[in-house]
Structure 1
């Protein structure tokens, strides 16, 4: 009886290993990348946030209780509103101790990732940039978020893992 029970448990557990949670999410790492470039001419921070599209659609679906298809051209206006709402709720910026709001520019799909574009205007110069990033924390407890900041040819990077949200770059 013990051998039969062992075989039965093995038979049940193999499909769970292959078709459980890992099947829902097609990649083994949960990561987003936020790149910020300081544009000296326009005195602005140009921001690109890159998120795996399947993960992003999953969290938007859960958050807004709607069918999400970021590639549907006929739903572009609605998808833009949902993307803007999620990103501006989960990505906050403080420049030299002052909270600043980004302008949402839009998003585009790039193969398996979604690029979201933001801009913060009227930044004459800065020494310290703090970013609070909770993107996909409401979906994964192993989420990693990476930040790259480029200013006057210098590039600095940092990363955080769930549950930490605060990233600070000093120039």
Structure 2
């Protein structure tokens, strides 16, 4: 019995090491927003994983979607813009502002989405709603970082709590 126990103890570090190397997929996006007072605009860059974004566009719009610089689906920009405008919202001082999808860039396994909101007067409070990919993954986390006047405020947005209210003095 003691030999069996010693073998089990000797095997335990090996088992823990194997468990540590098993992959677990994390569902996270990062969205950076910056208020540019000189341009009276909010510039937004949202970073999501390409494979997840393809999956959600296919699910949402019932058509095959390929996102890659080499073989992109013909109407990819239209689908991306349509999806983003339903999932990302920015309200300044209680007023919802229209998003302008500027374009995208592929970087490794991510797609960077470039969005702008124009004609934005100075403000002291902003509410960001970010439901990107939450209709695909219940445990999706959307990190936001909002920079204004050299200060950055951050929040984690989840499906059950999709809004973040940020106040700047």
Aligned length: 146
- Alignment of structure 1 residues 1-171 onto 2, 5 Å: 28-72=25-69, 75=72, 78-171=75-168
Q: Could you say which structure has the larger radius of gyration?
A: 2
Contact 2:45 2:112 in 1 (8 A): yes
1:27 is displaced (CA, Å) by: 5.8
Once the 2 structures are TM-superposed, how far is the Cα of residue 157 of structure 1 from its aligned partner?
0.4
Q: CA RMSD in A?
A: 1.6
TM-score (norm 1): 0.80
Measure how far apart 1:64 and its partner are: 1.2
TM-score after normalising by structure 2:
0.81
Distance in 2 between the 1:83 and 1:128 partners? 28
8 Å CA contact 2:31–2:46 kept in 1: the answer is yes
Deviation at 1:67, TM superposition (A): 1.5
Specify whether residues 170 and 48 from structure 1 end up closer, same or farther in structure 2 by C-alpha distance, changes over 3 A only. Answer: same
What is the CA–CA distance in structure 2 between the aligned matches of 1:54 and 1:74, rounded to whole Å?
14
Q: Please say if residues 137 and 163 of structure 1, whose CA atoms lie closer than 8 Å, have aligned partners that are also in contact.
A: no
Runs of 4+ aligned residues of structure 1 deviating over 6 Å after TM superposition are none
Matched position secondary structure for 1:62: helix
Q: Deviation per CA, 1:74-132: give whole Å up to 9, x if none.
A: 64651000000001110011001111111110112111111111111111211111011
Q: Distance in 2 between matches of 1:46 and 1:113?
A: 19
CA contact (8 A) 2:65 2:73 kept: no
CA distance in 2, matches of 1:138, 1:68: 17
> In proportion to residue count, which structure has more helix?
1
> Once the 2 structures are TM-superposed, how far is the Cα of residue 73 of structure 1 from its aligned partner?
5.1
State the secondary structure of the residue aligned to 1:142.
coil
